[in-house]
Amino acid sequence: MQTYDLIIIGAGAAGLLGAGTAAEHGLKVLLIEKMEKPARKIRISGKGRCNITNTKHHDDFLAHVYPDSKFLNSALRNFSNLKTIEFFNSLGLKTITERGERVFPESGKAWDVAECLVKWAKKSGAEIICNTKVKSLNIANDKISSVNADSGDNEKIIAAKYFMIATGGISYPLTGSTGDGYNFAKQAGHTITDLQPSLVPLKIKNHNVQLNKLQLKNISFSLYVDGNYVGDEFGEAEFNQTGITGSIILRLSRKAVGAATAKKNVELKLDLKPALTCEQLKNRIEREMYAVTTNYALLSKLLPKQIIATFAEKANIKLQNRITDTDSGKIIKTLKNITFEISGFNGFDEAIVTAGGISLKEIDSKTMKSKIISNLYFAGEVLDIDADTGGYNLQIAFSTARLAAQSIARQLLRIEKG
């Protein structure tokens, strides 16, 4: 039977970073991936560009992490977003920082990030095997001795001194994230909190499909739950066949999904002109009225044509009518507030991350070690920790994996020194 110092299950962002780190510390590492190649999810992330991380300061970064940002404190201080940038740059992957302090590969290719991690992990000494599925863990006396692995043509038992689960969540299941890690964690006695799609498009009740593919920029959406204000975001959004998506919708989706799941009334209020006050809009409309006479002509000056019909319905005005003071008042009010009732959300196949996961109460945040199994560690999306869009979630994977691998290396060294 083959024996390793460390077996890592899942060759995504966390698994690769953890494998390379442990191998650099001299550990004999085996990284097991069930798909045909490592880093499938990285290769398609960020619409094929891969938002690696961001340059936010520590406290600002943690403000975007849920449900318990304090849990990430040690991991992020140990391997910060700035250290992540330095790490990739040291491997020859040049990066650029764009709007919102988001960091991307200079090449604009997510594939380059994936290949960089794979090559580094292998060069560091980690062994990577693909097309191999871990079926179960062999546990006795609160300790894992080995895993049962199936490569299709044969099943084998592989032993190790330590184990790390880095299998991801259940978002984008075609990349291999199908929830295996949760089953392993349950087998080890861990609790799994409720799983929900996060950073996901939202569905609109009685959605007007004429809005499909309409892109809006420099607008604001506010989220209301049971009539109470929850939060707002400024930026870009895009309507699709069932509802709405885009960066600001994804950021609001975590709270919206939770509320919708709890059968609460969820609404999005759209401000099409957040930079202008009602008084400024009134002055502009008065200026426009010298050149136009109908509501349609006026709205054509203010809005994309694709949204005019929906806007008129929401504002309760007739497009071909001449502009009146009453209609201009309705237009101003509607420009600052179009309400959409949210009827649901898209599934895990369209969610960027999974909210929920292995309970943080059962993991040591200073080492990523299980409090139940003495030689088991966790990293990445499989944990009950997620964040907003903007490079946060990949950084969580990198930071937790780095800390876990270093903790295992230190523990092994202490044992060997006796």
Residues 56 and 102: beta-carbon distance below 8 Å? no
Q: What does the alpha-carbon distance between residue 13 and residue 168 come to, in Å, rounded to a whole number?
A: 9
Residue 416 pLDDT > 80, yes or no? no
> Band of the pLDDT at 414, cuts 50, 70, 90?
confident
Cα–Cα distance, 31 to 180 (Å, whole number): 15
> How does residue 313 score in pLDDT terms, banded at 50, 70 and 90?
very high
At residue 140, the pLDDT reads 95
Residue type, 22: A
pLDDT digits 0-9 by tens, 365-411: 999 999 999 999 999 999 999 999 999 999 999 999 999 999 999 99
Comparing C-alpha atoms, which of 88, 5, 4 is closest to residue 51? 88
Asked if residue 1 has pLDDT above 80, the reply is: no
Q: Is the peptide bond before 173 cis (omega within 30 degrees of 0)?
A: no
Look-up of token digits 């005019």: 308
Where is pLDDT greater, at 289 or 406?
406
**Mean pLDDT for the chain overall:** 96
Cα–Cα distance for residue pair 362/371, rounded to 1 Å: 5
Instruction: Name the one residue in this structure whose structure tokens are 């849990």.
Output: 71
pLDDT at residue 418, rounded to an integer: 60
CATH 3.30.565.10 fits 3-196+354-417, yes or no: no
pLDDT higher than threshold 70 for residue 216: yes
Measured CA to CA, the distance from residue 166 to residue 412 in angstroms comes to 20
Cβ atoms of residues 297 and 274 within 8 Å: no
Over residues 160-190, the pLDDT tens digits come to 999 999 999 999 888 888 999 999 999 999 9
List the chain domain ranges. 3-196+354-417, 202-345
> For position 277, what pLDDT does the model report?
97
Residues 93-112 have pLDDT tens digits of 999 999 999 999 999 999 99
When mean pLDDT is compared across 53-67, 288-302, 362-376, the lowest value belongs to: 288-302
pLDDT of 415 over the 90 cut: no
Share of the chain above pLDDT 90, in %: 94
Q: What is the pLDDT of residue 42?
A: 97
User: pLDDT at residue 17 above 70?
Assistant: yes
Give the other-Cβ count within 10 Å of 283's Cβ.
12
What integer pLDDT is reported at residue 413 of this predicted model?
A: 83
Per-residue pLDDT reduced to its tens digit, 238-262:
999 999 999 999 999 999 999 999 9
